[in-house]
């Protein structure tokens, strides 16, 4: 995917221009060059505060397991200076309206240990492998239903007057299970799922005009969606208080015991939003990206269809291959060396997960899509350590059930056009539309 | 070699037990426990591996 006209160099490479992500997808060639020539690279470009770009698997691992050195409390993810200002104004507004200080961590991702562990453990048992295994059968049934509905659309399109119209696999299939699964766990009534889905799309995709209401700016979209969602959460809390608590995530947050104290209403709402939002675009993109990867590699697809017990291993490869989360950022709390390079106290490091997942020192033939890859210690869910994705097992079970259900349909599918990418996000690299249809028999 | 498991981090991901059931056991509280006081010499290499693949970096080698 090398840019053919201009030679890529450390001086001209660009891994932050979101327009390039929309045009070409992830900047693989630039990351390759960084890993090879400057794995700890002081990146300075207009509209971004300079940072250390970290592109090797080993270094992402080192940062992730040392939260005492690399803090989450200052900057969480790389954003241009304009978006950072929007975020700051939002926090000031929220503090004015709901109390507390603009510097309060909005949720536990922004915390360091020991606070982080206490807060995360308020809900962590809802996401353990054991809890997920209990839901396995239920996920399988939901996936089966969604795939059947999707297959019906394909067949209808194929048979109705032979037009064989294309279908958007993102909205007709990939988007459905992640919202349904987390909303069920959260205790959100099914008639509200569509609304929840459009809020998460707006919060994550506000930089893309397609996810705003007509005439809205990015900031107005964020403000409206987060305000509406917060009021919705407050209503849900009141309902629980009136009707009694249950085994759902909201009830768990309302009963949380954090060193003898409970969460305040602002925290309950933002934690709840985090839990519901974190797994939507990410899991959806892994489903879409997985479908594309399998269609792009017909021999792997065939092998998987012949050996469905390879689904769990194929899912790990899909996670590595799609790397739905692009980066998270940390701030050094002391001087520290990475690969002999001095990082000074106060400077920030940005961990580029897709790059770590193509690191040739860890993955043999990293650009080969191999559903049997072993070992496959990818960092799609972040480096191993303090903030490792809380929803990793939920996402895994969703993907496993989805691809198991999809297998019988997959060999009939064909891509109609290249996927369209979400504009403006440097955090979750999303496919917003991917048109497929049935192969003509 | 001895190891300790930090229970403020461990969430029962079970990578340790999957690889080394003779050393690690994930119990009903979703936490991993060591089944041996001292790691037998022939398992040290595999224990090092388990340390590096624990998703929460919860296992520490103490000596
Ligand atoms: C394929 C889907 C997913 C991917 C690729 C993904 C990826 C990630 C990544 C890269 C991180 C940051 C880790 C770090 O900073 O070290 C993270 C954190 C997190 N994820 Fe996921 N995630 C996915 C699905 C989910 C789901 C379904 C949930 C549902 C609850 C979820 C909830 C969270 C939360 C709460 C955190 C913050 C954890 C913390 O700071 O302690 N994720 N995820
Ligand atoms: S692999 Fe790590 S988190 Fe998982 S059970 Fe073992 S110690 Fe706990």
Name all domains of chain A by residue range, CATH numbers in brackets. Answer: 18-438 (1.10.630.10)
CA atoms within 13 A on the CB side of A169: 30
- Are the beta carbons of A30 and A13 closer than 8 angstroms? yes
The full length of chain A comes to 441
DSSP strand pairing (A341-343 vs A431-433): unpaired
Of B7, B8, B13, which is best to mutate to test ligand 2, by the most ligand atoms within 8 angstroms of its C-beta? Answer: B13
DSSP state of A350: E
At A314, list the tokens: 């194929």
Task: Confirm or reject contact between A64 and chain B (CB < 8 A).
Answer: yes
Q: Which of A126, A361, A385, A391 to mutate to test the interface with B (most CBs of B within 10 A)?
A: A385
Closest CA in chain B for residue A67: B57
- pLDDT for B4 equals 95
Nearest alpha carbon, ligand 1 atom 13: A382
**Atom from ligand 2 closest to the CA of residue B11:** 3
Best CA proximity match to A124, nearest among A33, A170, A68, A185: A185
Q: For residue A437, give the H/E element and its range.
A: strand A435-438
At B44, list the tokens: 């040290």
DSSP state of A261: B
- pLDDT for A161 equals 58
The ligand with the least distance to the CA atom of A392 is 1
Q: How does the average pLDDT of chain A come out, rounded?
A: 91
C-alpha to C-alpha distance for A349 and A43, rounded to whole angstroms: 10
In tens, the pLDDT along A353-406 reads 999 999 999 999 999 999 999 999 999 999 999 999 999 999 999 999 999 999
- pLDDT for B8 equals 93
Q: Is pLDDT of A205 > 80?
A: no
Q: Is pLDDT of A282 > 70?
A: yes
Other CB atoms within 10 Å distance of the CB of residue A119: 22
- Are the beta carbons of A419 and A169 closer than 8 angstroms? no
Q: Is pLDDT of A1 > 70?
A: no
Is the full-model pTM beyond 0.90? Answer: yes
Best CA proximity match to A293, nearest among A151, A434, A195, A177: A434
User: Counting Cβ atoms within 10 Å, is residue A65 exposed (0-12), middle (13-18) or buried (19+)?
Assistant: buried
DSSP state of A341: E
- Are the beta carbons of A407 and A304 closer than 8 angstroms? yes
Best CA proximity match to A349, nearest among A383, A314, A308: A383
Best CA proximity match to A229, nearest among A203, A255, A205: A203
Q: Is pLDDT of A441 > 70?
A: no
In our burial notation (b when 16+ CB lie closer than 10 A, e otherwise), range A400-426 reads: bbbbbbbbebbeebebeeebbbbbbbb
- Are the beta carbons of B38 and B2 closer than 8 angstroms? yes
Q: Is pLDDT of A298 > 80?
A: yes
Which chain B positions have a beta carbon within 8 Å of A121's beta carbon? Answer: 8
Closest chain A C-alpha to B38 CA, distance in angstroms: 24
Q: For residue A89, give the H/E element and its range.
A: helix A81-98
- pLDDT for A422 equals 82
ipTM: 0.94
Q: How confident is the model at residue A25 (pLDDT cuts 50, 70, 90)?
A: confident
Coil vs helix vs strand at A42: strand
Q: Domain spans of chain B? A: 2-62
Q: Which of A98-112, A201-215, A314-328 has the lowest mean pLDDT?
A: A201-215
C-alpha to C-alpha distance for A84 and A91, rounded to whole angstroms: 11
- pLDDT for A5 equals 58
- pLDDT for A425 equals 79
Q: Is pLDDT of A14 > 50?
A: yes
Q: Which residues line ligand 1 (CB under 6 A)?
A: A 64, 108-109, 120, 182, 274-275, 278-279, 282-283, 286, 319, 324-325, 328, 353, 380-383, 387-391, 394-395
Q: Considering only the top CATH level, what class is B2-62?
A: alpha beta
Distance (Å) of CA A76 to CA A10, A85, A347? 25, 14, 13
Q: How confident is the model at residue A293 (pLDDT cuts 50, 70, 90)?
A: very high
C-alpha to C-alpha distance for A346 and B18, rounded to whole angstroms: 40
Residue pointed to by tokens 């295994």: A133
- pLDDT for A3 equals 47
The arithmetic mean of pLDDT across residues A298-310, rounded, is 97
Among the partner residues B12, B30, B57, nearest to A384 by beta-carbon distance: B57
- pLDDT for B18 equals 92
Phi, psi of A27 (to 5 degrees): -80, 65
- pLDDT for A413 equals 93
- As a whole-number percent, the residues of chain A with pLDDT over 70 amount to 98
Kindly list the residues of chain B whose beta carbon comes within 8 Å of any beta carbon in chain A. 8-9, 11-14, 28, 30, 52-57
**Interval between CA B23 and ligand 2 midpoint (Å):** 12
- Are the beta carbons of A419 and A292 closer than 8 angstroms? yes
- pLDDT for B19 equals 92
Beta-bridged to residue A337, according to DSSP, are A342
Beta-bridged to residue A352, according to DSSP, are A327
Q: B57–A64: do the CB atoms touch at under 8 Å?
A: yes
The arithmetic mean of pLDDT across residues A327-346, rounded, is 97
- Are the beta carbons of A15 and A31 closer than 8 angstroms? yes
Q: How confident is the model at residue A215 (pLDDT cuts 50, 70, 90)?
A: confident
In tens, the pLDDT along A219-259 reads 888 889 889 999 999 999 999 999 999 999 999 999 999 98
Q: Is pLDDT of A4 > 70?
A: no
Q: Is pLDDT of A144 > 90?
A: yes
Q: A127–B11: do the CB atoms touch at under 8 Å?
A: yes
The arithmetic mean of pLDDT across residues A171-175, rounded, is 92
At A121, list the tokens: 């453990």
At A280, list the tokens: 């939507």
- Are the beta carbons of A338 and A351 closer than 8 angstroms? no
The arithmetic mean of pLDDT across residues B23-36, rounded, is 94
């Amino acid at each position: 995917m090398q840019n053919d006209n201009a030679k890529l160099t450390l001086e001209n490479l660009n891994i932050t221009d979101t327009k390039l992500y929309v045009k070409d997808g992830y900047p693989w060639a630039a990351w390759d060059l960084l890993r090879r020539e400057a794995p700890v690279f002081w990146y300075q470009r207009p509209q971004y505060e300079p940072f250390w770009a970290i592109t090797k698997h080993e270094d992402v691992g080192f940062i992730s397991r040392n939260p005492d050195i690399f803090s989450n409390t200052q900057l969480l993810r790389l954003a241009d200076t304009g978006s950072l200002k929007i975020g700051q104004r939002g926090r000031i507004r929220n503090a004015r309206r709901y109390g507390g200080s603009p510097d309060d961590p909005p949720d536990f991702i922004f915390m360091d240990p020991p606070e982080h562990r206490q807060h995360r453990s308020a809900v962590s048992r809802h996401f353990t492998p054991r809890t997920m295994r209990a839901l396995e059968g239920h996920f399988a049934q939901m996936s089966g239903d969604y795939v059947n509905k999707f297959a019906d659309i394909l067949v209808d399109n194929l048979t109705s007057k032979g037009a064989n119209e294309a279908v958007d696999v993102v909205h007709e299939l990939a988007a459905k299970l992640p919202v349904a699964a987390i909303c069920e766990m959260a205790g959100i009534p099914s008639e509200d799922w569509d609304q929840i889905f459009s809020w998460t799309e707006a919060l994550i995709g506000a930089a893309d005009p397609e996810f705003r209401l007509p005439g809205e700016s990015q900031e107005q979209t964020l403000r409206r969606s987060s305000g509406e969602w917060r009021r919705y959460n407050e209503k849900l809390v009141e309902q629980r208080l009136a009707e009694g608590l249950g085994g759902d995530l909201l009830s768990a947050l309302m009963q949380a015991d954090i060193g003898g104290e409970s969460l305040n209403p602002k925290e309950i709402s933002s934690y709840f939003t985090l839990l519901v939002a974190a797994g939507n675009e990410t899991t959806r993109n892994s489903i879409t990206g997985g479908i594309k990867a399998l269609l792009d590699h017909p021999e792997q697809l065939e092998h998987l269809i012949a050996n469905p017990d390879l689904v769990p291993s194929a899912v790990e490869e899909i996670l590595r291959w799609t790397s739905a989360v692009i980066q998270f950022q940390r701030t050094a709390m002391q001087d520290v060396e990475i690969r002999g390079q001095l990082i000074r106290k106060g400077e920030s490091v940005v961990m580029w997960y897709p790059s770590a997942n193509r690191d040739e020192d860890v993955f043999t033939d990293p650009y080969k899509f191999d559903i049997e890859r072993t070992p496959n210690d990818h960092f799609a869910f972040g480096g191993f350590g303090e903030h490792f994705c809380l929803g990793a097992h939920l996402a895994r079970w969703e993907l496993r059930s989805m691809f198991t259900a999809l297998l019988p349909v997959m060999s009939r599918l064909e891509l109609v056009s290249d996927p369209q990418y979400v504009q403006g996000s440097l955090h979750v690299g999303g496919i917003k539309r991917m048109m497929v249809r049935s192969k003509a028999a | 070699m001895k190891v300790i498991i930090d229970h403020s981090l461990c969430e029962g991901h079970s990578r340790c037990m999957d690889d080394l059931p003779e050393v690690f056991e994930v119990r009903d509280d979703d936490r991993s426990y060591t089944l041996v006081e001292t790691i037998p010499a022939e398992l040290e290499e595999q224990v090092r591996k388990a340390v590096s693949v624990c998703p929460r970096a919860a296992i520490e080698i103490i000596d």
